[in-house]
Homo-oligomer: A and B are copies of this chain.
Amino acid sequence: MKQRIVECVPNFSEGREEATLLAIEKAVESVSGVTLLGREADADHNRSVFTIAGEAEAVCEAAVRAVGVAVERIDLRQHQGEHPRIGAADVVPFVPVRGISLSECAELAVRAGEQIWQRFGVPVYFYEAAARVAGRERLENIRRGQFEGLIEELKVSSERAPDLGNGQLHPSAGACVVGARKFLIAYNVNLKTERLEVAKAIARKIRASSGGMPHVKAMGMMLHSRGQAQVSINLTDFEVTPLHEVFDAVVREAASFGVEVAGSELIGFIPRAAVEAGFAAALRFERFRKDSVLENSLEAKLES
C-alpha cells in the first residue's frame, strides 16, 4: 500500500506544566502508526510545539486527541506568556512529507477541524492552504487581538467569527487554528566573520521580501559564543527554491564582501525529497530520477 506520510506541528499554550505536556504526549502516542519526533517547550513564551509524523489518518487522529487534552487542561483565562495566542491548542498545521499533496493535507485539516468542533466544542479557524475566508491564509490576521480581544470583538460583530462553531470562542480554550502548509526548513549558514552587518546584508539580498529568492525568509544574527555572524534562513517551499541554491547564493554574496562560509546547519528536520533535490542540484544532474536511489526503487516496488 502506498504510504501517505504527514507531519503535524501543533502549538499549545502551555510551556511550564510538565504534567500537561506529558498528557499531550500520551494522547499522541495512544494512536498507533504515529511517532512523536520532538517536543519543545518555552517557559517565557509559555508555549510548546510538538512534532509528530506518520500515516495521514493516524496523524490526524493523534492531533485531535492532543487538542482534546489541551482543551481539558489549559485555561486561557489564567494563561500568561509572551507569545500571541487565541487557543489552548493554538495552531495545528498539517504538512505533506511523502506520497501526499498539500491539498490533500488541507482536506485532512478540515477533517481534524470538524472533529475538534464536534468532540470538544472548540471553534475552528482554517488557515494557509485550508483557508475558506479571504485574509485567513495568514495566521496573524486570525490571531489579531488575541484570545482576550477576540472575545470582545465577537460580542459586537460576526465578521471575524470562526469557520466552524457557534460564533463565539470557547470560554477557557478559545479557538483552534487548523490548516495545511508546505514543509518549512529552518537552516543557518555561519560566516567566517564577526561583522554582523555582512550577515544582515546577505539576508537582505537573498530574502523574498526584498526581491531575493522566492520562499526565502532570512535575517542576520550574531553567534557570540563562536564569534561568527550567521544568516538564519526559513525556506518555505524547497520545491520552488532548492536549499542548495540558497546556500550557493549565500556563498556568492559572502564572497562579494571577501567573507568565507564556515559551514551550515539544520534546525529540526528536512524531508528526504529536499535532500534528493539538493543533491541533484549540487551535482548538476541532467536528469535525476527518484528511482535512481536504490531504497526508493525498493520501497516503490514493495508498496505497489
Contacts and interface: CB of A to CB of B under 8 A. Distances in A.
A166 interface: no
Interface centre among A243, A247, A295 (most CB of B within 10 A): A295
A18 interface: no
Contacts of A297: 35, 37, 53, 269
Interface string A5-37: 101000000000000000000000000000101
A55 B272 CA distance: 22
Contact of A295 (B243, B271, B283, B301): B271
Contact of A298 (B35, B282, B302): B35
Interface in A16-67: 35, 37, 53-54
Interface centre among A54, A247, A279 (most CB of B within 10 A): A279
13 contacts: A53-B298, A97-B294, A243-B283, A244-B283, A247-B284, A263-B285, A263-B286, A264-B283, A265-B285, A269-B293, A275-B279, A276-B279, A282-B283
Interface centre among A262, A263, A293 (most CB of B within 10 A): A293
Contacts of A296: 272
Contacts of A37: 294, 297-298, 301
Contact of A286 (B264, B276, B286): B264
Q: Please give the count of copies of this chain that the complex contains.
A: 2
A186 to B, nearest CB: 11
B5 A295 contact: yes
Contacts of A265: 285-287
Interface string A95-117: 00110000000000000000000
A188 to B, nearest CB: 9
Interface of A: 5, 7, 35, 37, 53-54, 97-98, 190, 243-244, 247, 261-266, 268-272, 275-276, 278-279, 282-288, 292-298, 301-302
Nearest to A183: B294
A55 to B, nearest CB: 10
Contacts of A190: 286
Contacts of A285: 263-266
Contacts of A282: 244, 247, 278-279, 282-283
A247 B281 CA distance: 12
Interface centre among A98, A275, A286 (most CB of B within 10 A): A275
Given A35-B298, A37-B298, A298-B5, A272 B293 contact: yes
B261 A298 contact: no
A149 B294 CA distance: 38
Contacts of A244: 279, 282-283
Given A53-B298, A271-B295, 16 more contacts: A35-B298, A37-B301, A190-B286, A243-B283, A244-B279, A244-B283, A247-B283, A263-B285, A266-B285, A269-B293, A269-B294, A271-B293, A272-B293, A276-B279, A278-B282, A279-B282
